[in-house]
Amino acid sequence: MEAGQSRSEARTGLLNGIAAYGMWGLVPLFWPLLKPAGAGEILAHRMVWSLAVVGVALLFVRRWAWAGELLRDRRRLGLVIVAAAVITVNWGVYIWAVNAGHVVEASLGYFINPLVTIAMGVLLLGERLRPVQWAAVGVGLAAVLVLAFGYGQPPWISLILAFSFATYGLVKKKVNLGGLESLAAETAIQFVPALAYLLWIGAQGESTFGDGAGHATLLAATGVVTALPLVCFGAAAIRVPLSTLGLLQYLAPVFQFLLGILYFHEAMPPERWAGFALVWLALTLLTWDALRTARRGRIALAEQEARATAATEAEPQASQPEPAA
């Protein structure tokens, strides 16, 4: 019964993980629906409506104790402010990139994000890399140089998205809040300036929120588009191994890349294919190294448990008195 329940939990986690990264991968189909709203207006609506959706979710699950603890901890609160600022940059650049016809370049940002995260771990946290990880970072750097040649300039959109999201992940790790709680705290910080911006463009007659009920509903749906994948991700994170999540994370940029080529018909000259091929080679090296390391860890743990079990079973025999002559 327990084994069946465990398999059911793992299957539920896997489906939630696929749903989360699938939604993140297909979100480029959503942002163009919000035109003629500009990236700034869409971003502001995303902040405002995300707080509303997450607030309702927190009311439902009745988790509020974290808010008081966060307000009393100035260090963590400062980190949340940094996280809110960084994710604002990430969201804004991504929305602009999609609606400006740069979906492929945006997908590249999330392909190279693991490489940037590793590089930041070395530079900022003093982490030591294994040889394969060094090779992956080197191949990733070569890919950026090839793509810079292909684009005629560094792939700024990709680099901004990758570095902003890597920084966001680093800060969130230090804050150590759950997914819903973290998004609630960040959007609460974003809410006032976002609402002020919406009111200002409304007073200027530049808001598109009044362009019909359908358009207003789509703008309000930005909150659901932001929160729903996060809920699915949270359900996956507690049910599947980290190595599985690490593999699933590539679904999002793969979907984005395919959408950019097949749906939005963006150009892919040979030098861009070469750059992407190098990125995929780097990610293959990283994935292989991570799976190999995880397998070695499991084998070492199993051997340690076997030795501990053998030692435990041997103790009663050693303590028995010798039979009388």
Asked if residue 322 belongs to a domain, the reply is no
For the stretch 28-67, pLDDT in tens is: 999 999 999 999 999 999 999 999 998 888 888 787 788 8
**Torsion sign (Cα): 47, 75, 230, 140:** positive
Asked if residue 324 belongs to a domain, the reply is no
Max distance between CA atoms of the chain, in angstroms, equals: 105
Q: What gap in Å lies between CA 233 and CA 99, rounded to an integer?
A: 26
Asked if residue 313 belongs to a domain, the reply is no
Instruction: Tell me the percentage of the chain whose pLDDT exceeds 90.
Output: 40
Total domains present in the chain? 1
Asked if residue 30 belongs to a domain, the reply is yes
- Domain residues for the domain of 125 are 7-206+213-306
For the stretch 143-193, pLDDT in tens is: 888 888 877 888 999 999 999 988 988 888 788 777 778 888 999 999 999
Q: What is this structure's pTM?
A: 0.85
Asked if residue 315 belongs to a domain, the reply is no
Asked if residue 40 belongs to a domain, the reply is yes
Can you tell me which residue has the tokens 């163009």?
32
Q: What gap in Å lies between CA 72 and CA 10, rounded to an integer?
A: 37
Q: What gap in Å lies between CA 307 and CA 65, rounded to an integer?
A: 43
